[in-house]
Structure 1
């Protein structure tokens, strides 16, 4: 097959997975230096808040020679990533183009953390380096095809994904690590020769060494079961060399009831994803984009809690009629998520006034706990209205008295309480 076609197929594979987990709106496939040489910067950029992820995708066929394969994939991809970083963070203004947006300036000053990822799509590789380093000694994560697909589907929010990347980088950045996904029977004489050639070149360095028998999926299983931390023994500074055997851990994990329980419990959390997709990322405005970013900044477990709160609130208010107005606020990572309900009998003006008073009353009686409140209003048919209040500061005393007056007229309770949801990632 033509190498260009294989390359395009590889990029499409990675793009589709990234779009589904991180939302296409923040994914820039094959971005070009639009106001410069028009050359492709990298295969995929993900830009979300202050995080940048640079992807290089290699879809070369593995033909049995590991060292030649690594040179054609990992080495070249690492250089591409280093070049992409150099271009993006040069002194020049860089403009890029998203397929669904107008040309925009890459705001480099906003970026606080950069992750670099090589996705190697060749199959039947018996071992491979767990990571790579650029010429500036920047850490580069290396995923194979199966691992990337699993991780991006299991850690299918940007917060969950970058938490794994961050902890992976912190643990392995000073280690020479080889992962061995193949079984012992797959190590032919030629494979062993390649393996020892690679390891001998690196064992002469002062870096700590780790050999991982198993796939990174197996390592992910350990990570998830261990409260999203890698094995404690791997953090022991006095141990310089490790041989970690985790073969079959992923299969064992996914066959457990707790894995099934987690999947079932997470189903409700996709209410947030669908809300962002169907309500916010259409007819984009600055406020819609801001609300979307706030909601997508929550990890999967927090989205589960918000969704449970919403559906519980909706069920309790679905039979309301007349001028009954429901309200509930929850604290989610320091952000207030306020649910209100409206009825068919309410005019838009009345509902807007009540929403405003709900926000103000929670601010006042909550002693201005929140700097940000997301408003999600619904009726019995799940028809949404939404809003965002940021940079909340105490109201003037005269205005506070007016709020108290209005609350008293409506007969609202002033001993407001927050809804609190505590969720176990793996329910019993």
Structure 2
């Protein structure tokens, strides 16, 4: 797949600007970054049931680059103000993160089963224009963008407002620690949870789509390794990734293999 080919295809189709605020936010964000040539907001599947005459939305935005398929799910949910931090977090997390993750897993499942049944319009008359990789070779990256939390996180913990990352936190039901994200479901595809702050940092720091997919891939591998990773925010992970190189000369997370716990603090 070449840039020339993709840019020609992208200009030839009626690319949606997004039907919902979430889709428009992601579409606008991608327009100003390296994702613009490979991203499509507001895709639909031709699954009609219970009298539906239109297709059903599958994801807020999908990016296809070579063998990588990135599925974005975006939620704007106000943070409750019950007076109890854990209660506020749990309620916000269920609506903004857990629900979005289920949408992303569902989109991955549909694409794996029916890769030719993706459309740009709800009438399902405009097929998705980019060729998908063979599903046997496809690498899915699921991204949840959860809004409204960064400001409160910064107010409570200081710093940029980026959510903390603890890889030993596993399972949606165990995400009860405020402002902390781990592995939502170790038995399914890894879900990257970005807030407003961390997504902007990543997209503004990396230069190309290959850089972005490389970062997602190696972050997934790190957070599902035998080592416990504790990071005060996404920017700490990204900083380490960009400073380190593996034996192939690629940016990577390179830690001593015998280390059982790695702590990445602000400015560390």
TM range (shorter): 0.5 to 0.7
Q: Which residue of 1 aligns with 2:56?
A: 39
Q: Secondary structure at the match of 2:56?
A: coil
Match of 1:145 among 196, 215, 222: 196
Q: 1:220 aligns to what?
A: 238
RMSD: 2.9
Structure with the larger RCO, 1 or 2 (CA within 8 Å, 6+ apart) = 2
- Bigger CA radius of gyration: 1
Q: What's the counterpart of residue 166 of structure 1?
A: 217
Q: Is the 8 A contact 1:17 1:153 kept in 2?
A: no
Q: How much does 1:102 deviate? A: 4.1
In structure 2, distance between residues paired with 1:74 and 1:141: 10
Aligned to 1:201: none
CA contact (8 A) 1:95 1:103 kept: yes
- Higher mean alpha-carbon deviation, 86-95 vs 68-77, is at 86-95
Task: Provide the residue aligned with 2:111 in structure 1.
Answer: 88
34-43 or 159-168: bigger deviation: 34-43
Is 1:211 the equivalent of 2:226?
no
8 A Cα contact 1:132 1:142, kept in partner:
no
In the superposition, relative to structure 1, how do residues 104 and 148 fare at CA in structure 2: closer, same or farther (>3 Å)?
closer
Give the structure with the larger helix fraction: 1
Q: TM-score, normalised to structure 2's length?
A: 0.66
In 2, the alpha carbon distance for the partners of 1:113 and 1:138 equals: 10
CA–CA distance in 1 between the matches of 2:116 and 2:243?
44
SS in 2 for 1:210: strand
CA gap of 1:35–1:226, structure 2 versus 1, over 3 A, is: same
| Shift in alpha-carbon separation, 1:98–1:217, aligned structure 2, 3 A | farther
**Closer, same or farther in 2 for the Cα pair 1:44/1:72, shift >3 Å?**
same
2:127 to 98, 103, 111: 103
Please list every run of 5 or more consecutive structure 1 residues that lacks an aligned counterpart in the other structure.
1-6, 176-207, 250-428
Asked whether the 8 Å contact 1:29–1:98 carries over to 2, the reply is no
Assess if the C-alpha contact under 8 Å between 1:116 and 1:140 holds in 2. yes
CA contact (8 A) 2:42 2:120 kept: no
CA contact (8 A) 1:45 1:53 kept: yes
CA contact (8 A) 1:58 1:121 kept: yes
Q: Name the structure 2 match of 1:54.
A: 71
TM, length-normalised to structure 1: 0.43
Cα–Cα, structure 1 residues 222 and 104, in superposed 2: closer, same or farther, change >3 Å?
Answer: closer
The answer to whether the 8 A contact 1:117-1:143 is kept is yes
